[in-house]
A and B are shown apart, each in its own frame.
Chain A
Amino acid sequence: MATLQNSLPLTKPKANRKVNSGAIITRAVVYGILILGCLYTLVPFLWMILTSFKTATEMIKLPPTIFPEHFTVQSYKAIFTDPHVPLARFYTNSIIVSVAIVFMVLFTSSLAGFVFAKYRFWGKDFFFTMILATMMIPFQVLMIPAYLILVKLGLVDNLMGLIVPSATSAFGIFLMRQFVESIPSELIDAARIDGSSEFGIYARIVLPQMGAALATLGIFQFMGTWNDYLWPLIVITSTEKRTLPIMLSWYSSQHGARADLTMAASILVIIPVLITYFIFQRWVVRGIALTGFK
């Protein structure tokens, strides 16, 4: 962050007046490119929003319009009142699955991360390497046998089938271990001398200090689970157990020619994640930087 304030004066050579116009041009070019990139990023979102407010008749008009001629919310109304689309049910399913997975992952990751960071025991490095190794296995290799396991457990076409295999996270344990290592061991020893149990140390000393880490992991897990498609596609077969992304692809296969409807449905599906992202934007970015950087 300080990089820029420090380096800008340095880029200004001695002949100040001469370079000023050059610096302005450079800055204009930089902003020009960045704004061009933003257009690429934002146009599909705008198109999604604009299309969702068009009327059904406008959709089949030639040549196609860019801005809606008559702003209307009839596509949203159509989705909300469609008896074949129990939207509240789909939202509930997505929320149940996401919230359950987030809480279980936060609990198991923080506990295992704490153990790996602050205890010495036989086989510690071996077990930790095993956990990291599971991150290397692509999901596509596991999905067929994992499905067969669910068949044996009787969890196919059941929300539990989405939750149970995701209760632990190798990435989560890795992230939590990194965070717990920065908590001073003296604090833990002090609690131990005061007679706290080991679980008490975890619950009362370690957890309260991990707010930022838990938020980061929780948001990641929430967004990943909410948007997950392939696994629910395999596990869920009946209508009333669908999560939102499955509902969305099914809905678009029913109303493929009605872009006004599919775009409105898309907006309804992505809004909870976008809101979460805007609120917790800093944590999201920090989390990625942490995992990606060294």
Chain B
Amino acid sequence: MSTATPKRSGLFRKQHTFVGSTLTPVMLYMMFFTFIPMIWGIAITFFHYSPTRLGGFLGFGGENPFAGLANYADLFADNPNGQLFRLSLGNTLIFSLLYLPLNLIITVPLAVLIESINLKMKVVFRTIYFLPVVTSAVAVSLVWGVIYNPTFGLLNALLQRFGISGMAWLSDPSKFVLGIPVAMLCVLVAYLWSDMGYNLVIFIAGLQGIPDVYREAAVMDGANAWQRFWFVTLPLLQSTMTFVTVMTMLSSWQVFVIFYILTGKGGPSNLTRTLVLHIYETAFRYQEMGLAATVAVVLFIIIMITTLLQLRFMRKEWEY
């Protein structure tokens, strides 16, 4: 780097002044909007806190009294707060545990197929599959709402043409498939639609990074296409796989818009109420910021533990 620089102290001083004067404001700015909120966010979990009430310094104290661990105890309590939290946690868990395998089962084979066709068509398919990713999540929710609509929806219209009577996909709390609410399955289909292009592009890039020699060697050894996919491509894709698994899990814990708009704030009967929705409603609808921040901290801890576990189980001991 700067080894080629003549070791004149004047030059070095100039460089250090430059580093200090550019990096300091940027770092301070970032800290101001990440670490300070982080600390503040943890601090208010120990208070009954609302910005609408008068308090002392930064709103602490006064009408926002110190609560100790009351907000945390509330999560386990047998009151509406605790019940709603545990319900939201369960729904989020169902959603993320179903979404990850669903996504991988579809995006990995699709990426392999796209990678196997000629370049021009590859670009066409990739462009199409990526379209929903750049589409506003609000628009995504609205169009799927129209598709699932019981009276003028596309899904019921198509089903009727085959003589099957439709149903209220998003608003009937009594319909379950294998114990999973139909509304949740509908959200999964819609969210997969909006999100799969992202992983697809990453997998295609990952496949292009695998040196040809391995597949050629497998062909020499007489492996068929399926064996090449299962025993060569898939294991060599592991670093991409780790990244995608971690990122998909991370983002599926944080999905908000589709649950807020498509199922109308977590309906029917809170069957699609997720943690982020619960945080939003508690903080900004009921103004209980202390409690909401507590749920946010719990969400953060869950996400951290999940990520660390995934990284641990998917560690690889080789390189190509």
Contacts and interface: CB of A to CB of B under 8 A. Distances in A.
Interface of A: 1-4, 6-7, 10-11, 26, 30-31, 33-34, 37-38, 40-45, 47-48, 51, 59-60, 62-66, 108, 111-112, 115, 118-121, 127, 130-131, 134, 136-149, 151-152, 165, 167-168, 170, 173, 185-186, 189, 192, 197-199, 223, 226-227, 229-230, 234, 244-245, 248-249, 252, 259, 262-263, 266-267, 269-270, 273-274, 276-278, 281, 284-285, 288-289, 292-294
Contact of B22 (A10, A31, A111, A149): A111
B137 interface: yes
B114 interface: yes
B257 A230 contact: yes
B246 to A, nearest CB: 11
25 contacts: A4-B117, A7-B215, A34-B117, A41-B193, A42-B128, A59-B152, A137-B300, A138-B299, A139-B254, A142-B34, A145-B293, A146-B37, A148-B59, A185-B4, A197-B14, A198-B18, A227-B135, A259-B149, A259-B152, A267-B139, A277-B134, A281-B127, A284-B130, A288-B202, A292-B202
A166 to B, nearest CB: 8
Contact of A4 (B4, B15, B115, B300): B115
Given A34-B117, A137-B34, A141-B299, A223 B29 contact: no
Nearest to B224: A11
A294 B136 contact: no
B205 A293 contact: yes
Nearest to A149: B37
B219 A121 contact: no
A62 B125 CA distance: 36
A10 B224 CA distance: 11
Contacts of B280: 230, 234
B19 A115 contact: yes
A47 B198 CA distance: 22
A37 B202 contact: no
Interface string B1-30: 110110000010011111110110011011
Contacts of A167: 29
The 3 closest A-B pairs by CB, nearest first: A289-B205, A292-B202, A198-B18
A130 B35 CA distance: 10
Contacts of A44: 132, 140, 143-144, 147, 193
A34 B110 contact: yes
A109 to B, nearest CB: 9
Given A66-B154, A168-B26, A293-B205, A4 B118 contact: yes
B134 A229 contact: no
B86 interface: no
B44 interface: yes
Contact of A248 (B138, B204, B292): B138
Given A4-B117, A168-B30, A119 B2 contact: yes
Nearest to B303: A138
